[in-house]
Chain A
Amino acid sequence: MSVPLLIVDDSGFSRKAMLKCIPEGWDVDITQAANGEEALAALRKGLGEVVLLDLTMPVLDGFSVLESIRDEGIKTKVIVVSADIQPKAKLRVVSLGALAFLQKPFDKKSLAAILAECGVYSED
């Protein structure tokens, strides 16, 4: 069965880059969101078993999305993908329940490695 994968980033370029880097063998059903509110709406509909989440976004940022996921008890696996490389940003997202942090810019290899590390996709 396809895994509902939610890609959240305000940059259209960045979303395209993520799409291109999704491992070819991974059977996913992809939804895209351009800000935190759109992301939460998709999550509430069950469209995000796995989420690739940007932090710096208009309307509602990634930190707030993580807080809502926690507060609403939404079951999902979040990997934060961000250019905000402050050590405290990483600590914060992990304490808010994110599984991992992937620094931008990323490539196919680093995304595949993180997905494997989080146990959501493995090439073998």
Chain B
Amino acid sequence: MKTESLNEEENEILQEVINIGMGQAGASLAKLLDVFVNLSVPRVSWVNDDDFVVKVGELVAGSDDSWAGVRQAFYNQLEGEAFVLYGTNGCGQLADLMGYDNNEGMAQEELLLDVTNILIGACLVGVAQQVDKEIDFAAPTLVGLDKPIDDLLYSRDREWDQCLLIEVNFHLEATNFACHLVMLMSEGSIEQLRSGLLSFMESY
């Protein structure tokens, strides 16, 4: 039997916990790039693993035609994998901002790995801290550059029970750079998350 995703109240708390994680991620990104980051309200939804690729496709539709993707696995009490998806146009702007030449493939790859590590790390550590759960990370890996979105999402470790889609729009002031963060989690992790969210609520 599959775990139901969170109920309305639990999702509301999750939204706030993610908001706090995103605030930490945005501050880290601002520090790395020395720019002001305009944060948007993260939108949170759940889908089954089977629908993951289609739903992510819908989420990012219209914002870019080709994408770069970086994935990073996490484990311990919260276990799953996360992807950060970058529109190719935005990647170019990010490279410009950091003073990289667009033709330097390796440098751009390193930049995306760094930015992903910061975003996923800060966001998930922020969430894990609020819900008082342990989390560790594997190194991020580049899934692809300049690809259609579908190509990036099929390289997964395994099937997951539930996918948490978090639409985040980190918009760097004076650029078009924006990226999306999506996460997949195991059933056990969702139970951990649920118990953590309830304790977080009771702490008020």
Contact = CB atoms under 8 A, between A and B. Distances in A.
B23 A11 contact: no
B20 interface: yes
A10 B37 CA distance: 19
Given A13-B13, A58-B41, A21 B23 contact: no
Contacts of B19: 11, 14, 56, 83, 104
B201 A82 contact: no
B20 A104 contact: yes
A83 B22 contact: yes
Contact of B41 (A13, A56, A88): A56
A20 to B, nearest CB: 5
Contact of B40 (A12, A56, A86): A56
A85 interface: yes
B16 interface: yes
B24 interface: yes
Given A11-B16, A56-B41, A20 B204 contact: yes
A107 B200 CA distance: 12
Nearest to A83: B23
Interface in B166-204: 201, 203-204
B130 A85 contact: no
A105 interface: yes
Interface in B121-175: 130
A3 interface: no
A17 interface: yes
Contact of B16 (A14, A20, A58, A107): A14
Interface residues of A, number: 24
B15 A84 contact: no
Given A21-B204, A56-B41, A58-B41, A86 B16 contact: no
A82 B204 contact: no
Contacts of A42: none
A10 B41 CA distance: 9
A100 B55 CA distance: 41
Interface in B1-23: 9, 12-13, 15-16, 19-20, 22-23
A107 B20 CA distance: 14
Interface string A7-40: 0001111101100110000000000000000000
A13 B16 contact: yes
A17 B204 contact: yes
A57 interface: yes
A65 to B, nearest CB: 15
Contacts of A12: 12
Nearest to A17: B204
B30 A88 contact: yes
Contact of A86 (B30, B130, B204): B30
B204 A104 contact: no
B139 to A, nearest CB: 26
Contacts of A105: 20, 130
A4 to B, nearest CB: 23
